Amino acid sequence: MTTRPLRTRLVLTVAGFGGLTAAVCVLAPLVGSTSISLTRALSRSIPYADNVDAQIFFVARLPRVMAGALVGATLATAGAVLQALFRNPLAAPETLGVSAGAALGAILAITFGAGTRIGPLAPVPLASLAGALSAMAIVYLLASSTRRAMSTSVLLLAGVALNAFISAMILFVQYLADFTQTYRAVRWLIGDLDVGSFGPILAALPLVGIAFAIFATLPGALNLLSLGPEAATARGVDVARAQRLAFVSASLATSAAVSLAGPVAFIGIIVPHLVRLVVGVDHRLVLPAAALFGAAFLVMCDLLARTVMNPVELPVGIVTAVIGGPFFLWLLTRKT
Amino acid sequence: MLRAADAGYGYGGTSGGGDAFTLADVSLEVARGGFVGLLGPNGCGKTTLLKLLGGTLTTRTGAVTLDGEDLAGMSRRRIAQRIAIVPQETHPSFDFTVQEMVLMGRHPHLGPLTLEGPADIAIAQEALTATGTAHLVDRAYMTLSGGEKQRVVIASALAQSPDVLLLDEPTASLDLGFQMEIAALLRRLNRQRQVTLVLATHDLNLAASLCSHLLLLKGGRTLAFGPTAHVLTAAIVRALYGVDADVTFHARAGHVTVVPLGAAHP
């Protein structure tokens, strides 16, 4: 066979995209509306209270870059998993209704949930996580109620119907909200990485960790699922189990990402397609590549968002939507 | 030996009203290295029987065993290590290369976190050579012709290193040239590599030219099972399809041939 063995391609993929991601994550915190010096920020001779560079670096920029990397990696990988599960290249984390559930939770907390805190967790991320997990449970029960294997068409349609229903609920809650609450809700819905500290990132890590542990076991089965459930069964895949794991892991990942940063649009579609152009369609390469490039891509989008209207820092969701909309249309019209 | 003993299956019927379709009490033995054809009209249960034999459906009554081991008690992975299935058509939702399609056949032999090694690649290479598709290895599967696609899918099934290969109308959408190509491939696999084959088809002449034994199904029940030359008769063709046919031994072809003459008048 003429192409390189998979092991070599996997090493090249991880090294290439890993290097890019590392470079972007190191450089991005240094760039912004105020220019700072890394040597000054890390200098021990200047007390932290007087070190403006260190404060900008550690409080404003580093958490934002880390949140971008985490959210980008998570949404991009979840998108790649869902596209294989649904056998549809336009499926995305938004498709399942999980993002909408998170949005409803967040907006309920913004409108009605004054300072209810559980431990270190703020009410808005907590409520959005609860909303996302509830939406996931509803879709899951609908899709697995009648058959042994999940029906992916029921899953898809249930997601669409749930999205529409939840949008109506969001408008209803918005109607009851006052101006300040509506303003905060709209801001949340745009998707923003300005998390302010490391706390929310740490809080999202356990769920993301579980999701990625499941993702790691899936690529071989995802390759076969994209041939259809019967072909996958014939090649030894327990289709019902693989579908359940793919759905649950992608939903958990989406829940964690959206409760951290809001529904940042289109990452789950753009990134998997871009990496497929480079590494091909084998999911054993696509998933790690999507995770690494998703991180780099969202951090770069956020860098653009922070600097394009200097000194105004835009939410990253605007940048990804502006790039993602036309990209989606290009995918639709591209000859297959 | 692959054996079905009084195998039965019913579809539907979740809200009472009985089963929408039933395959009843089908018994069948395929010896190691055997080549059995499944024939019968649309809806007779050929595909269902093939799924039961491949363990992708589990029998409601009776059992299917492979060398004495009940398929119902084996994991999907374990079954796929021994039985491969070639469907009528395969439509991947991503643009896999031929090499990737064939290597997917190694899936039941790999752990969830292991990648295929040199031994797996050698097996895939051999499957490509056996099916005459080695020159296509770097092509995109979707760009191949119908005959090439089906040969690649058979290569992928062979890469599973199966003892038994089940084929569901593998030539249904192919022209005569490709049909002959697939037929020659199956004959070669059966004779040279002793692969056990079960072929469901509507093509009576294809079945007659390839299969040593035939199972004839009608309405989910066995009409006849035996050596091809014994069971494939004008009377059986009329009973199966309601068609009058001239069934004769063709000396140059070396097997029984069926020439349909017209709808039978009762």
pLDDT in tens, chain B (266 residues): 899 988 888 876 544 445 556 788 899 999 999 999 999 998 888 889 999 999 988 898 899 999 999 999 999 999 999 999 998 889 999 999 999 999 999 999 998 788 888 899 999 999 999 888 999 999 999 999 988 999 999 999 999 999 999 999 888 878 888 888 889 989 999 998 889 999 999 999 999 999 999 999 998 889 999 999 999 999 999 999 999 999 999 989 889 999 999 888 76
Is the Cβ pair A227, B92 closer than 8 Å? yes
* Beta strand B35-39 pairing with B21-30: unpaired
Percent pLDDT > 90 in chain A is 52
- Per-residue pLDDT, B76: 92
User: Is residue B255 within a helix (H) or strand (E), and if so which, with residue range?
Assistant: strand B255-263
Classify residue B224 as left (phi > 0), alpha (psi -120 to 50) or beta. beta
Distance CA B250, CA B40 (A): 22
Mean pLDDT to the nearest integer, A131-135: 92
Query: Does the structure show a pLDDT above 90 at A169?
Result: yes
Q: Say what the pLDDT of residue A148 is.
A: 57
For A15, residues 6+ apart whose C-beta sits below 8 A from its C-beta are none
Secondary structure (DSSP) of B142-200: GGS-HHHHHHHHHHHHHTT--SEEEEESTTTTS-HHHHHHHHHHHHHHHHHH--EEEEE
Q: Which residues of A touch B95 (CB under 8 A)?
A: 281
Contacts of A279 in chain B (CB under 8 A): none
Long-range CB contacts for residues A39-43, cutoff 8 Å, separation at least 24: none
pLDDT band at A124 (very low <50, low <70, confident <90, very high): confident
* Contact assessment for residue A52 and residue A88, using Cβ atoms and an 8 Å cutoff: no
Read off φ and ψ for residue B223, nearest 5 degrees.
-90, -40
Contacts of A225 (CB under 8 A, 6+ apart): A84, A85, A87, A232, A237, A239, A242, A243, A246
Q: Indicate the residue type of B25.
A: D
Mean pLDDT of chain A: 88
Closest CA to B194 of B165, B157, B235, B233: B165
Tell me which chain A residue has its CA closest to the CA of residue B78: A236
Question: Is the entire prediction scored with pTM above 0.80?
Answer: yes
Q: From B122, which residue of chain A is nearest by alpha-carbon distance?
A: A1
Q: Residue A59: which pLDDT band, with cuts at 50, 70 and 90?
A: confident
* Among A110, A263, A105, A106, CA closest to A178: A110
Supply angle C-alpha A304, A326, A14, rounded to 5.
60
Nearest to A226 among B80, B84, B93 (CB): B93
Report CA torsion sign: B83, B85, B91, B95. Answer: positive
pLDDT above 70 as % of chain A: 95
Q: In whole numbers, what is the pLDDT of chain B averaged over residues? A: 89
Write b or e for each residue in A186-214: b if 16 or more Cβ atoms lie within 10 A of its Cβ, otherwise e: eebbbbbbbbeeeebbebbeebbeebbeb
Report the pLDDT value the prediction gives residue A93, as an integer from 0 to 100. Answer: 86
Q: Which residues, 6 or more positions from B242, have their beta carbon under 8 angstroms from its beta carbon?
A: B263, B264
Mean pLDDT of A67-71: 96
CB of A76 closer than 8 Å to CB of A294 = yes
Q: Which of residues 270-299 of A touch B (CB under 8 A)?
A: 276, 280-282, 284
Residues of A whose CB is below 8 A from B107: 220, 223-224, 235-237
Q: Is the pLDDT of residue A324 over 60?
A: yes
Q: How confident is the model at residue A121 (pLDDT cuts 50, 70, 90)?
A: low
Beta strands in B12-140 (DSSP E): 21-30, 35-39, 61-66, 69-70, 83-86
- ipTM summary value: 0.86
Query: What is the predicted pLDDT for the residue at B206?
Result: 93
